[in-house]
Chains A and B, each alone.
Chain A
């Protein structure tokens, strides 16, 4: 009846996950009760859960990423403490628990923090920058978000019901095969990634279509803001690479569920095929994450330097070059697998070549800053911090791209330090820069600068204190994923890293405090003009937060930096040009499709993990029925009357006139 599920699935003998799970459960229940008692449930349901507005979905993506960042961060803290104390002792985490923690940390940080964070920012900003009303497929967008949330839910469920994978974040066979991992851990891993992978693919298709097909008048490809270009490149990579992940995990699941032999040691299977395929997805994946971050830095650096982006066309070229070359380097993740010098040399050289377009980008940002009037607001601090940090990470990357060096450093703490260096220094700093930069656009008030700067400095310093020791430990021969060790030379570095982790934690706390303080002071921090940073692209041309239709009129674009041009024009003429007649606007209707679909997907995923076959069928039928109901819908748009559009738009125009006349007076 319930497959493999029984009371032994709940880890009564392990206090840490049980207490953590109980605390989270109580917190969720408390929030739910508060929502219901206060009567917020209808608001949440109509305005957020069923929303197909790209801005709301973007905000929900970022919220999911932030919550998961706290979860993944707690895993990191536990690991650093374990390695600090587990010198010639077992530490406080038993091996099977420690293995689950590092697997969950990697899985969560990549799939449920970095991915939703960048997809959320792209969702929120790209339609605004393109000057359009929504993404190409609004309801599909909501489905994508909720499926991602399903994956995150399943991973977290494994904390209290059953166990998570103990195989590392990519679940290499033969360890992840049934004979070595008979528990449900790997199934939790694989099914949550399969479900959230569908969500990611849907988001990718949606954003590619949006950039290619929905641009406002005059928005040529070579007038698009840099963030739109990196979004295009990143989502092309999603569309091309995620099917590889899906296929690979499907093969692993066939091995585990139906006795296939794709990756087994016996019966003609080949484990190396798994490494090959998973990295053919895995390397493009890191560019999927970092390209949007590059776009964010481009926007931030040019805005806060008060200059157009230096070398715009070379930046476009570099972005697209990275997009293609990222598919030519995957073997560098397994140089030590046994391939000959020809193969290793070619992939080593390709990996070094990718440093060239990245270097072009760094120089472009530096030249953008050169001669500009730089304002060191929080987003700019994150950007400059990124440049310094990412160069170090990039250089160690070029080092491990040299096959002979890689044979020494493979699977060592040096590698761990390298990829944290580029992912934290690149993706996370980018996500934070984007968060600080576009927060006023999303919510209508700025974030507190003092706490933001504190958060930056603690995170920045904490990062170095944590990860430079890991580089050194790696050079001293320490391998990754060690539950305990006996080498005295590594001990001091592990202690320093633990101190660094504490500093990083303070940085995270500062960020939380920043949000709380800003919400309390929101009246003082209110952004009435919609353009708090003196921005250059079209998202600043509408109010903060933007109306549901984004723009009363689709803006006319006449060059790069569209909004900067408009402002220059308006200042010359002392007022904005006259508006033509307001017209009715049709917007997509909200739809519970995404939420209902994800609800059934959750049931199906859980049932698949525990082999509860009747529930699998139930979930599958439910999800399919949801799709059918949506496909046969009668009307999916509603009309905002012209008077309403006019009323909303006039408030925005008044504020803007005031801004322009003030600027004119100065």
Chain B
């Protein structure tokens, strides 16, 4: 569609439409991303099996590494940036995060309060004969 091209403003590009970098630059970006992703994955496996760190901190460390992994994927593979051409993508990401937070957080909270109106188990047991 010929005259749809200038319908879009210059700063409003879809993912995969960013201005043409040279092939070399793009390859370097992907290689760095891959290296970081592999590093984070390897670290996770290493930490899970090691006794070099305080044992109870391992789950927290894994969560931190997982979040870092998501960040690497978003930046290097999905090309989320803070540039003005990325407002839609960042907003979509924010909306997605909000919904995930509401649904997951809400679910955990609701399921934890599931049995509030139940009598304690030790009172139920004698009732069953």
Question: Footprint of B on A, CB under 8 Å?
Answer: 132-133, 209, 212-217, 236, 240, 244, 270, 272-273, 276-277, 280, 324, 327-328, 330-331, 337-343, 553-554, 583-587
**Can you list 22 A-B pairs with a CB-CB distance of less than 8 A?**
A132-B4, A132-B7, A133-B1, A213-B8, A217-B7, A240-B95, A270-B111, A272-B114, A280-B103, A324-B98, A327-B99, A327-B103, A328-B106, A338-B117, A339-B110, A339-B116, A339-B117, A342-B113, A343-B113, A554-B3, A583-B2, A586-B1
Q: Which of B98, B109, B118 has the most CB of A within 10 A?
A: B109
Determine whether B96 belongs to the interface, using a CB cutoff of 8 Å to chain A: yes
- Chain B 3-28 interface mask (CB, 8 Å, partner A; 1/0): 11011100010100000000000000
The residue in chain A whose Cβ has the minimal distance to the Cβ of B6 is A217
Q: Chain B residues with Cβ under 8 A from A276's Cβ?
A: 107, 110-111
Q: Chain B residues with Cβ under 8 A from A273's Cβ?
A: 107, 111
A242 to chain B, nearest CB (A): 12
Determine whether B55 belongs to the interface, using a CB cutoff of 8 Å to chain A: no
Which chain B residues (83-129) contact chain A, with CB distance < 8 Å? 88, 95-96, 98-99, 102-103, 106-107, 109-111, 113-118
Q: Chain A residues with Cβ under 8 A from B111's Cβ?
A: 270, 272-273, 276
Report the bound CA distance from A486 to B109 in whole Å: 41
Report the bound CA distance from A212 to B95 in whole Å: 14
Report the bound CA distance from A244 to B98 in whole Å: 15
Q: Chain B residues with Cβ under 8 A from A216's Cβ?
A: 7
Interface size class of B (residues with CB under 8 A): 20 to 34
Report the bound CA distance from A324 to B103 in whole Å: 12
Report the bound CA distance from A216 to B109 in whole Å: 45
Q: Residue B3 contacts which of A214, A272, A553 (CB distance < 8 angstroms)?
A: A553
B101 to chain A, nearest CB (A): 10
B61 to chain A, nearest CB (A): 28
Report the bound CA distance from A472 to B2 in whole Å: 61
Q: Chain A residues with Cβ under 8 A from B117's Cβ?
A: 338-340
Q: Chain A residues with Cβ under 8 A from B109's Cβ?
A: 343
The residue in chain A whose Cβ has the minimal distance to the Cβ of B103 is A280
A240-B95, A338-B118, A339-B117 given; name 10 further pairs at CB < 8 Å: A133-B1, A133-B4, A217-B7, A272-B111, A280-B103, A331-B106, A337-B114, A338-B116, A343-B110, A583-B2
Report yes or no: B7 in contact with A330, Cβ–Cβ below 8 A. no
- The 3 A-B pairs with the shortest beta carbon distances in the complex, nearest first, are A340-B116, A339-B113, A240-B99
A231 to chain B, nearest CB (A): 16
Q: Chain B residues with Cβ under 8 A from A343's Cβ?
A: 109-110, 113, 116
The residue in chain B whose Cβ has the minimal distance to the Cβ of A331 is B110
Q: Chain B residues with Cβ under 8 A from A584's Cβ?
A: 2
Report the bound CA distance from A132 to B1 in whole Å: 10
Q: Chain B residues with Cβ under 8 A from A583's Cβ?
A: 2-3
Q: Residue B2 contacts which of A212, A213, A331, A586 (CB distance < 8 angstroms)?
A: A586
Report yes or no: B7 in contact with A338, Cβ–Cβ below 8 A. no
The residue in chain A whose Cβ has the minimal distance to the Cβ of B95 is A236
Report the bound CA distance from A270 to B115 in whole Å: 12
